[in-house]
Homo-oligomer: A and B are copies of this chain.
Amino acid sequence: SGSSTTSVVGLALLPVFAAGAWLGTVRLIPAMAPLLERAGIAGVDLNKPGSTKKIPEAVGVVCGLVYLVTLFLYIPFHFDSFLLNSDKRDDFPHEKFVEFVCALLSICCMIFLGFADDVLNLAWRHKLWLPTVASLPLLMVYYVNVGSTWVLVPPFMREWVGGETINLGYLFYVYMSMLAVFCTNAINIMAGINGVEAGQSLIIAASLVILNIVLSFMGQSDHHLISLCLLLPFCGVTAGLLRFNWFPSSVFVGDTFCYFAGMTFAVAAILGHFSRTLLLFLAPQTFNFVLSVPQLFKIVPCPRHRMPRVNARTGLLEPSVVEVPLKSTSSLGLWCIAVARMVGLVRVVESTDERLVVTNFTVINTVLTIAGPMHERNLVMCILFIQVVCSVVALALRFGVLFV
């Protein structure tokens, strides 16, 4: 069927809708921030010494609302030729339409869940199984519309696997539903300094937009175009959010935005058939997740906040630390610390017979450990630079595999 189901008018209007999403976000954030503050969903920025001003949190809820409205309004234009021409109505491509609607359903559920988390502080177990359930309709659509669970084997593994492709069977569906859980949480734990959540999300989304545009020109158009339609308005709302969330932040994004961003990436990757390539673009988040595992699973003690701390005297950020009592920490925990220290990912600040004081296990702290104390704006630039490098490498690898 190729590009036959996609409307040229719709695609031409897509940048207009994305710009509208940007404008809507920029207009609505100042209007809704006072509502959030009044409801008590606000907090002090801990990295601004001496500041006691309450900053509204969970502003991602505005982005989510604007995003949903934008796509609701866009969808009819995407299918305009079928809607306007009554002869073609019987050929309406339900199988494409349902992909859009399932995508929005999964995303809407995650925005709702994220907002509920910001307001209510849900338990960890809910955060893990709810995204899995929310991805069910999408997996059903993938099963019915695509069904193929054959995946390309990377060149260096082909000899070992014994072929260029391999059938992962139902494991591929397990992978896709875990991707939804992973993405939502991976963005959420690479957070805590002004602009880092929205910044990394914007860079990832923009890279995926480039990926989709290039691949759709190379012929696999329909599924890349749907992915594009989901990502471009996302870039719009995220750019709008970044204007207020950039250093010094006047709003915080909240779990709402992180869940929203993560689910949008997962959905765009599943419908665009690049659910494995996505992990290349999420390399910093994946690395950060792996590095965080000892603390997330309480093998090494985990404080409530792991973001860097400002030094009130210098005004620079320094890595935050955690106290590790030697008696109550398992040998596995101590081994994790030793390995991470050897590789240079953490630094032991203090060491006595009774306890260690170690920098927290996150990429943001590692950057500060290696490069020394830094101004908050420089730190976020540094993290975003790493994201840009990873995105460029991911694009090069993806296009490289195509031409190999």
A143 at the interface (CB under 8 A from B): yes
* Contacting residues, chain B, for A140 (C-beta < 8 A): 75-76, 79, 83, 97
A137 at the interface (CB under 8 A from B): yes
A120 and B32 contact, CB distance less than 8 A: yes
How many copies altogether? 2
Query: At the interface, is chain A mostly helix, strand, loop or mixed?
Result: helix
Q: Mark A123-143, 1 if CB is under 8 A from B, else 0.
A: 000000010011011001001
Contact of A92 among B109, B119, B144 (CB under 8 A): B144
A120 and B35 contact, CB distance less than 8 A: yes
Closest chain-B Cβ to A141's Cβ sits at a distance in Å of 8
Name A31's closest neighbour in chain B (CB-CB).
B123
Q: Mark A75-94, 1 if CB is under 8 A from B, else 0.
A: 11001001100000100101
A52 at the interface (CB under 8 A from B): no
Apart from A82-B144, A108-B108, list 11 A-B contacts with CB within 8 A.
Answer: A35-B121, A39-B119, A79-B140, A89-B147, A92-B144, A94-B95, A94-B98, A98-B101, A108-B109, A112-B115, A119-B119
Can you list 25 A-B pairs with a CB-CB distance of less than 8 A? A32-B120, A35-B120, A39-B119, A39-B121, A65-B116, A65-B130, A72-B134, A72-B136, A72-B137, A82-B144, A83-B144, A89-B144, A89-B147, A92-B144, A94-B95, A94-B98, A97-B140, A98-B101, A105-B108, A108-B108, A111-B112, A112-B112, A112-B115, A115-B116, A115-B119
A-side residues, CB < 8 A to B, are 32, 35-36, 38-41, 61, 65, 68-69, 72-73, 75-76, 79, 82-83, 89, 92, 94-95, 97-98, 101-102, 104-105, 108-109, 111-112, 115-116, 119-122, 130, 133-134, 136-137, 140, 143-144, 147
